[in-house]
Amino acid sequence: MKRNIIVGQSGGPTAAINSSLAGVYRTAIDRGAKKVYGMLHGVQGLLNEHYLDLSDYIKTDLDVELLKRTPAAFLGSCRFKLPGIHEDKAVYEKLFAILDKLDIEAFIYIGGNDSMDTIKKLSDYAILTGHSTRFIGCPKTIDNDLALTDHTPGYGSAAKYIGTSMKEIIRDSFCLEYPQGLVTIVEVMGRNAGWLTGAAALSKCEDCDGPDMIYLPEVVFDPEDFKKKVKQLLTKKPSVVVAVSEGIRTADGRYVCELGNTSDFVDAFGHKQLTGTASYLASFISKELGAKTRAIEFSTLQRAGSHIASRVDILEAYSVGGAAVKAADEGDSGMMVTLQRTSEDPYQCQTAVKNVHKIANDEKCVPREWITKDGTYVTDEFVAYVKPLIQGDVSPVMVDGIPRHLYTPKELYKK
């Protein structure tokens, strides 16, 4: 590389997105980039010229190691939808003028399907105007719903958190007995894809039976049938534990969370905030069956739990960051780095690059054949797919009994 690069983080954070940032930074420096800039709050911040020089923050090898272990987005994130390239030229002129001013050779964006929409539009605009900056997407999302990649960095660590926490919840749920039984409903993120909720099945092992049922958004949810199944289970055991996706819907297409008191918040991409599925179902079961119920929403914890991150995930996240820089350096643009599984046993994955136009805005869901016929569990194939992704640990750097993170720059909070 002869000039500078700029990197941004976008969409929902993960426990691994900063490892990709570390991979981008290290590889860019190793390949001769003069400066590695970081956009503050993604492209939305860049439009306001909010950026920093990453070398002011990553000074030592220890900083790189801490960054790999720091959850959330070090640079801040955004959910910002760029207008179409023919809709509002002024936005593009402004952005490309900033890129020119910073002498940017490569623009790397770490994000999910909405963020790949940004890479698609910027690379299209560069072609249209003959601009030399190259635009590469770097995959990230706990939802694991990006097309053309075996899986996405961030998913493995979130899946490990979910499998582990489910096991702890199940263990706890059998301690106290209630006359009408205890029903625990655990809500998992993932929007319209059930990859993350299915990871609840990882808790099933020789010392744990796993959850009683798992409901994915790929299958229509019937509240009455759910009630019937819970009632049957309560005749056999004192405690029932169910994992539900935040995105399950009834036959009329309504999200279950919309049946209760929910948030009306909608983001720039038109995505409704999905929250309250577990609490709605817990009060439904409590009213209908008289059981004691508990609603648990993993919420932010499932994507910020870096103390239990998967080593495979953190290392892969680092390598996709490096592969994004390499792709840009070798002349690619309008592409996203993907992970291709080359061997099941032993598990092996390598990076490739694929056309971002085939990835942006698409949602890859769990194949129906990886969900049991009655729609209340995932199959062994699903578990075999996810298991390699949660392997190994990354020990946090503990200071005074608490994990140390790389401190997020103060500029991030400036208005």
Residues at the interface with ligand F6P (CB under 6 A): 11-12, 112, 141-143, 189-191, 246, 273-274, 303
**Residue among 125 and 280 whose Cβ is closer to ligand F6P:** 280
Secondary structure (H, E, C), 144-207: CCCCCCCCCCCHHHHHHHHHHHHHHHHHHHCCCCCCCCEEEEEEECCCCCCHHHHHHHHHCECC
How many Å separate Cα 266 from the centre of its chain? 18
Query: What is the smallest separation between the CB atom of 13 and ligand F6P, expressed in angstroms?
Result: 8
**Residue among 44 and 333 whose Cβ is closer to ligand F6P:** 44
Query: What is the smallest separation between the CB atom of 274 and ligand F6P, expressed in angstroms?
Result: 5
- 331 C-beta neighbours (distance < 10 Å), count: 7
**Residue among 255 and 377 whose Cβ is closer to ligand F6P:** 255
**Closest to 300 in 3D by CA, of 158, 113, 153:** 158
Query: What is the smallest separation between the CB atom of 191 and ligand F6P, expressed in angstroms?
Result: 4
**Residue among 127 and 268 whose Cβ is closer to ligand F6P:** 268
Preceding peptide of 211 cis, ω within 30°: no
Burial code (b: 16+ CB inside 10 Å, e: under 16) for 286-307 equals beebebbbbbbbbeeebbbbbb
Length of the chain: 415
Task: Single out the catalytic residue among 114, 117, 124, 143.
Answer: 143
Whether 212 is catalytic: no
Query: What is the smallest separation between the CB atom of 142 and ligand F6P, expressed in angstroms?
Result: 5
**Residue among 78 and 325 whose Cβ is closer to ligand F6P:** 78
CA distance 79 to 158: 20
Residue 238: helix, strand or coil by DSSP? coil
Sequence-ordered list of residues with C-beta below 8 angstroms from that of 410, at least 6 positions apart, any chain: none
The token pair at 190 is 């993932």
**Residue among 10 and 133 whose Cβ is closer to ligand F6P:** 10
Q: Where do runs of H (alpha helix) occur along 69-149? A: 89-101, 113-129
Query: What is the smallest separation between the CB atom of 292 and ligand F6P, expressed in angstroms?
Result: 28
CA distance 241 to 215: 12
Q: Do 388 and 346 form a contact (C-beta atoms < 8 A)?
A: no
Query: What is the smallest separation between the CB atom of 266 and ligand F6P, expressed in angstroms?
Result: 11
User: Where in the sequence numbering do the catalytic residues fall?
Assistant: 143
